[in-house]
Amino acid sequence: MSQLPSPSRLALVTGGSGFVGKHLIRRLLSDGWRVRALGRSAEALAQVQASGAEPIMADLSDVAALTSAMDGVEVVFHVAAHFKLWGQMSVFRRINVDGTRNIVAAAERAGVRRIVYVSAAAVVMGRPEPMRGVSEDAALHRMPFAHYAASKAEAEEILLAANGRRDGFFTVAIRPPFIWGPEMPMLDHMVETVRAGQFQWVAGGGQAMSTCHVDNLCHALLLAADRGSGGKAWFVSDGEDTTLKSFLTRLLGSRGVAPKARTVPFGVAWAMAGLIGAVWRTFRRRGEPPITRQMLRLIGKDFTIDIRRAREELGYAPVISPAEGIRGMYPSVVDQPGAAPA
């Protein structure tokens, strides 16, 4: 008698219409998972469906709706986040902090086995100073000028504290640095900035940095779903550190854009960001300022991470190299041997 095939595992992805969410849905489906994904609008639900997941209308503020969406779900991949370099802390807290708290509450009620959270390497960033080879032993920080990083740090604490509240309930977090890859919306903004003649290198662009291709991040998330010890967080990256100037030059080059060699000292940029921020707050200007202290903290000083713990405990290793990732950023019409820099 032939054996019946085992039922596919069911995952729920929050933020399924976003950059990371869409890539994660595709990876899960390719690995044989069934996938549900949340959306807050008709447009978001359409994008989720186009990626191959079952679309579910639900908001992170609605615990009842979240609990219903998690019915039968084994693993929740909590990807949704408010990622901006400027804005009211109340908005960051509502989405990143309260949203995570609600995800945890719903998962406990629904009997979910595990939550895998996309945190951020920035949660350990304190005052602007070089940080190299940072490990998971580094303390979390909540700098008053860095609402995104502060809210992600608080959300991670809430998530990991929930580990083991119910028998068989595990919570884990993955901390990527700069996430990049095909379809990244941030690249569009950078290209516009360069073409408008508004781009300048901070401190010459020689800052050391770690990066994480979206495919490497998705790989790490799936490893954490099966192998991660509950209540822990891991840094993951592309495994090769670079510099801001080297990396962004290659990334922008995939769009045929070359930033000019203009530079501004970090101290001057920091003072400018403080002044411009004060103007934005005083006059309640819309949109993001051209430069913010959150931005400068992310890219203005050396920041590299140590991924040995993820290698040892999760069996993590990058599935795509930076050179391969850059080649994949080029349009197919020019993606010929020798067209993309290594």
148 as an active site residue: the answer is: yes
H or E element that contains 125: none
The closest alpha carbon to 216, from 153, 305, 281, belongs to 305
**Which pairs from 94-101 meet CB under 8 Å and 24+ separation?**
94/61, 95/60, 95/151, 96/148, 96/151, 96/152, 96/154, 96/155, 97/151, 97/154, 97/155, 97/158, 98/60, 98/61, 99/60, 99/61, 99/155, 100/155, 100/158, 100/159, 101/155, 101/158
3 state DSSP class of 177: coil
Q: Residue 117: phi, psi to the nearest 5? A: -105, 135
Residue 205 CA to residue 139 CA, distance in Å, equals: 27
Tell me the C-alpha distance between 175 and 134, whole Å: 12
How far is Cα 223 from Cα 219, in angstroms, rounded to an integer? Answer: 6
CA distances from 93 to 88, 99, 107, 149 (A): 9, 8, 20, 11
Cα distance between residue 29 and residue 97, in whole Å: 28
- Residue 151 and residue 96 in contact, taking contact as beta carbons nearer than 8 Å: yes
Q: Which position among 117, 148, 316, 330 bears the catalytic label?
A: 148
End-to-end C-alpha distance for the chain, whole angstroms: 53
Active site residues: 148
